[in-house]
A and B are shown apart, each in its own frame.
Chain A
Amino acid sequence: MFFMLVCSLQFTSCSKEESTNNNIPALQLKTNGIYTSADTAIAEGSQITIGLKAFANQGENLCNLLVISNDSVRLLDYGFNASVIDKDVLINKNSDSIQKLDFIIRNTKGLSTSLQIVLTKNGSAYKPIIYYPEITLGGQSNLIVGSFYSLGNGLVYNQNDAFQNQSLINLLYFYHTLEFNTLASPGANVIGIYLGANAPEFWTLKNTTYFSRNTINIPTSSFDNASNDSLIIANTFINGGRKAKGLTSGQIWAFQTENNKFGLIKILEVNGQESGTVKIAVKMQQ
């Protein structure tokens, strides 16, 4: 009769859910023609491709791939869950004379393996940029200022005009009680914010722009002084969201357009809510 009691008492599982498999993961660099797999000298702003292959090595599943530049900047912080991963990473050479790249693969138990490549600066290859110094967008209930913006032609559209020019629209602005002042794109699952049959949820062509503040902390002076795409390239990202929520003045967001152009947005002013406005500045690759 005491069987159950004994069973109950033995169900002690204070031990953490850690397995005893201590095999460390394996990491390799691809060596085919397009890949860089050894230390090399390249021009500032030019791009190389690193091919990474990692294996669980009969240990726990892999779950995190990190690429860290000069022990500080995370160029990639990728979460996944698999026994094998094959991933190509595009790296833009920054302005440092020596750029140390660490590639780290970690498994679910926190065990890791790393490799390193050193890039030496050899000249410059940065390109000029497009600059929109002040763009004003209205909230979804603003009857005067449009909410929609085309990064291609630099024009602000109201909802009706944006509906007629869906292929041109890259950004839109709205206020939501749980997301606050938000920049998004038509492809960001914006439902129930704008009213009417021409609201973005009914569009047939929805460009998607990705945003990130995850890995960047750019001083506004750096944004203001940027005259080529070096700052943009230094802050390209891989894990972006489709909305930039909680906008406040002074923030700088990195973005990537539907056609893979990167850029930076500086939030100049945020005024009000649904009927309010946001002022932004944009610098982006041509």
Chain B
Amino acid sequence: MIKRLIIVLFLLVRIVNAQDTISKNIFLKDVIIISTRSNSKIESIPASIDVVSKEDIENYPSTNLDNLLQSVANVYVNRSWGIFSKNSSVTMRGMDGTNRVLVLYNGVPLNKTSGGGINWYAIQPETVEKIEVVKGSNSALYGNNAMSGIINIVSQIPKEKFKGNLNLLYGGYQTFGSRINLSGNNLKNKKGWYWYANGFWRKGEGYIMTPPELRDSNDCKLGMQEYSTDLQLGYQFNNNSSLSFNYNYYADKRSDGTKIYEKDGSYLKTYSNMGIISYHNLFANQILFNAKAFYHYDYFWQHTEKLNETGDTYKLYDTDQSSNDLGLWLNATKNIGKFNKFTVGIDLKQGNMDATDIYRSSTDMVQRKGNISFVAGFLQDEISVKGKWNFVAALRYDYARFNSGCIVVENPSYNTGFARSFTEDYPSDKWMSLSPKISAKYLINNKVDVYISASKGFMPATLDDMCSSRKINKGFKLANPQLKPEYVTTYEAGSNYKPLNNLLLESSIYFSQGKDFQYFVATGEVVDNTSIVLKRENIGDVNIKGFELSAKYQLIKNIILKANYTYNHSEIIKFNALNETGVNLKGKHIAEIPEHQLFVGLFLRNKIVNSGITFNYVGEQWTDEQNSAIINDHFTIDLNLSREWNKKITIAFDLQNILDNEFIDKKGGLSPGRYFELEVGIRF
């Protein structure tokens, strides 16, 4: 026994004292944030900012990119069925809806104009260099979607002449996969080509998400199969100028856990293509110019079969939807004098959606489509005074136009509830908004800084809310072509305090006032005797108040402790959408927002094993608008272990939800419980 203890102690000492590890600067000074559009240093920006670095990505227990954001204070990642979820919902700062967070990939938006959502499966964590998270409203720079914050995913730039790895993956629920990465460059004197290619495949049998006491013969496993490819080709003209092309392809097929008569049951099949061309140049060593052109195509096919409780009503229908987003974003930054940095830019974007619901077990066919175009111009001034004060003022003008919206209903029955066949062209609409932001940061000394900011957010409705009358999880959604934009004004204050060289404490407190908030309201009608009819309305005002506290502590050179706590209180304070149901949502909490969140993570890097163990607590949250049902609070403990041998062989082990704590999500589905992935790779 004593001998074993000595061996364990010896190993611990060896782990702790291992010398060849990369010393990581957890305090992120000098890190450049490109999501501010002016390539500023993190320490000078008056905002709450987090960066998930490459090392974090390697050490964090994650099976998908969004998992990495669980470590960031005040970001709520809802992926209740693990890798078998149809998608993940990432929200911030007490606001529901993925469309209220702007997600960028290398500086271009991933939010679709059709629905605002993000496909978090499309980008593989190992192709990512870092993830920047800027919290708070930021429409003064980015306009649409930047209501509660911005997440910018930055892909890697190859640093070696040639590098590659081939990995095989095995996980719980009979999950198999593989990935290949190849990258290289021929840079000489900072001039030349660079490139990378990534391919990923994963397939899993899944699990039955219906709780055991409710299962019947129609429940099946949430099986899935996915593929992705990520390619980058770039040319660096010199230290200040480069041109690059990114291409991303993703395809998957996911069961939704029901199989009645159809061979594959109900399932969702998607694929997406995204291309980005980026150019930046420092003209005359004075003006930094960025241009980004992007195209994003998404397609999904949803095949649904349902049988009611009594087994006498069967439904079979398909949804066939495609959406496109096309844009050109240009901006330039110039230093004027020693302390003044001026940025101007224009953004052009156009998005459309074309979808058809085809009912097989009845005759209904509903086609819905629409288009939104955006034009915006912005300017920003960053002023630094004596290295102590940093001021940022920004103003953006957005113009958005909705057109070509229509609904075509053919041969309707009780399934959709429409009385007759008809075609309706929705009237065009246009919106304008001025979004200002003003903020200041004061460096009290080299240990403490404080900041304040006031900003406005602006978000037009999504095409899906304006044009789509279709079945959703909550009932039957009715299109609302009259839906107007919503606005949010956020006041924020925060500080960074470094009492010790190895300890950083960050805090921020904020208050947001939402106007014309877009939210689901029941109309009181029922379709098909069972489905409640819901409509997205501008319901009135909401207040959101909260704070976030985080700490990063480098215990010793190789061990880092991170912790954060988040509090959010989101409440509807004015309700303008009263209808004959008599339901008044005033005083209700916004659904799907946990009031409390806590994260603690311990990360260790050394020659023997790199590891990370994390604790995630998510507090209670309401599942519905009327606050009639609750998702219980829950927590998970996750573990990541990885090791490399001779820089040739790698092995990584992710164990999620070690304690096997299951919980029921908003759809009544059971979480997967304990799940592992083991990945073995060869480097070359």
> Mask for A181-208, Cβ within 8 A of B = 1, else 0?
0000000010000000000000000000
Q: Which of B253, B299, B413, B530 contacts A245 (CB 8 A)?
A: B530
> Mask for A106-118, Cβ within 8 A of B = 1, else 0?
1010100000000
Residue of A nearest to B225 (CB): A11
A102 within 8 A of B: no
The reply to whether A77 and B529 form a contact with Cβ atoms under 8 Å apart is no
Interface size on A (CB < 8 Å)?
48
A217 within 8 A of B: yes
Cα A77 to Cα B413 in complex, Å, equals: 8
> A64: which B residues are within 8 A, CB to CB?
360-363
B632 within 8 A of A: no
B309 within 8 A of A: yes
The reply to whether B201 and A7 form a contact with Cβ atoms under 8 Å apart is yes
Cα A213 to Cα B414 in complex, Å, equals: 8
The reply to whether A189 and B301 form a contact with Cβ atoms under 8 Å apart is no
The reply to whether B229 and A81 form a contact with Cβ atoms under 8 Å apart is no
Q: Which of A13, A63, A178, A180 contacts B271 (CB 8 A)?
A: A13
Cα A156 to Cα B299 in complex, Å, equals: 55
A207 to chain B, nearest CB (A): 15
Q: Which of A79, A189, A240 contacts B361 (CB 8 A)?
A: A79
B600 within 8 A of A: no
> A178: which B residues are within 8 A, CB to CB?
522, 532, 624, 626, 628
> B413: which A residues are within 8 A, CB to CB?
74, 77, 214-215
Residue of B nearest to A179 (CB): B532
B431 within 8 A of A: no
The reply to whether A8 and B414 form a contact with Cβ atoms under 8 Å apart is no
Cα A246 to Cα B200 in complex, Å, equals: 48
> Mask for B245-257, Cβ within 8 A of A = 1, else 0?
0000101010000
B414 to chain A, nearest CB (A): 3
> Mask for A8-22, Cβ within 8 A of B = 1, else 0?
110111101100000
Residue of B nearest to A243 (CB): B529
The reply to whether B524 and A80 form a contact with Cβ atoms under 8 Å apart is no
Contacts A214-B528, A239-B313, A248-B580; is A1 near B414 (CB within 8 Å)? no
Residue of B nearest to A237 (CB): B414
> Mask for B303-320, Cβ within 8 A of A = 1, else 0?
101001110111110101
Contacts A61-B261, A215-B414; is A1 near B166 (CB within 8 Å)? yes
A166 within 8 A of B: no
> B609: which A residues are within 8 A, CB to CB?
none
A149 within 8 A of B: no
Cα A13 to Cα B199 in complex, Å, equals: 17
The reply to whether A80 and B529 form a contact with Cβ atoms under 8 Å apart is no
> B182: which A residues are within 8 A, CB to CB?
1
> B229: which A residues are within 8 A, CB to CB?
5, 8-9
B348 within 8 A of A: no
A51 within 8 A of B: no
B180 within 8 A of A: yes
> A143: which B residues are within 8 A, CB to CB?
none
Cα A108 to Cα B263 in complex, Å, equals: 12
Cα A9 to Cα B308 in complex, Å, equals: 39
The reply to whether A77 and B524 form a contact with Cβ atoms under 8 Å apart is no
Give the contacts of B347-396 with A (CB-CB under 8 A): 358, 360-363
The reply to whether B526 and A245 form a contact with Cβ atoms under 8 Å apart is yes
Residue of A nearest to B198 (CB): A5
B500 within 8 A of A: no
The reply to whether B314 and A177 form a contact with Cβ atoms under 8 Å apart is no
Cα A179 to Cα B581 in complex, Å, equals: 10
> B414: which A residues are within 8 A, CB to CB?
77, 212-215, 239
A55 within 8 A of B: no
The reply to whether B201 and A1 form a contact with Cβ atoms under 8 Å apart is no
> A239: which B residues are within 8 A, CB to CB?
312-313, 414
Contacts A9-B249, A79-B313, A180-B522; is A212 near B529 (CB within 8 Å)? yes
Cα A183 to Cα B530 in complex, Å, equals: 13
B228 within 8 A of A: yes
A157 within 8 A of B: no
> B312: which A residues are within 8 A, CB to CB?
239
Cα A80 to Cα B315 in complex, Å, equals: 7
Cα A82 to Cα B178 in complex, Å, equals: 39
Cα A64 to Cα B522 in complex, Å, equals: 30
Cα A217 to Cα B261 in complex, Å, equals: 32
Cα A4 to Cα B301 in complex, Å, equals: 24
> B211: which A residues are within 8 A, CB to CB?
none
The reply to whether B201 and A80 form a contact with Cβ atoms under 8 Å apart is no
Q: Which of A12, A16, A79 contacts B316 (CB 8 A)?
A: A79
Sample (18) of A-B pairs whose CB atoms are under 8 Å apart = A5-B180, A5-B199, A8-B228, A11-B227, A12-B251, A13-B253, A77-B362, A77-B413, A79-B362, A81-B260, A81-B261, A81-B361, A177-B624, A179-B526, A180-B524, A180-B581, A243-B529, A244-B529
Seed contacts A5-B199, A178-B532; 20 additional CB < 8 Å A-B pairs: A8-B249, A11-B251, A16-B318, A17-B303, A77-B414, A80-B314, A80-B361, A81-B261, A81-B316, A82-B261, A179-B526, A180-B581, A217-B419, A241-B308, A243-B529, A245-B526, A246-B524, A246-B532, A246-B533, A248-B524
Question: B residues near A, CB below 8 A?
Answer: 164, 166, 178-180, 182, 197, 199-201, 227-229, 249, 251, 253, 260-262, 269, 271, 299, 301, 303, 305, 308-310, 312-316, 318, 320, 358, 360-363, 413-414, 419, 522, 524-526, 528-530, 532-533, 580-583, 624, 626, 628
Would you list the 9 A-B pairs with minimal beta carbon distance, nearest first?
Answer: A79-B361, A214-B414, A241-B529, A81-B261, A4-B199, A246-B526, A8-B229, A5-B199, A177-B628
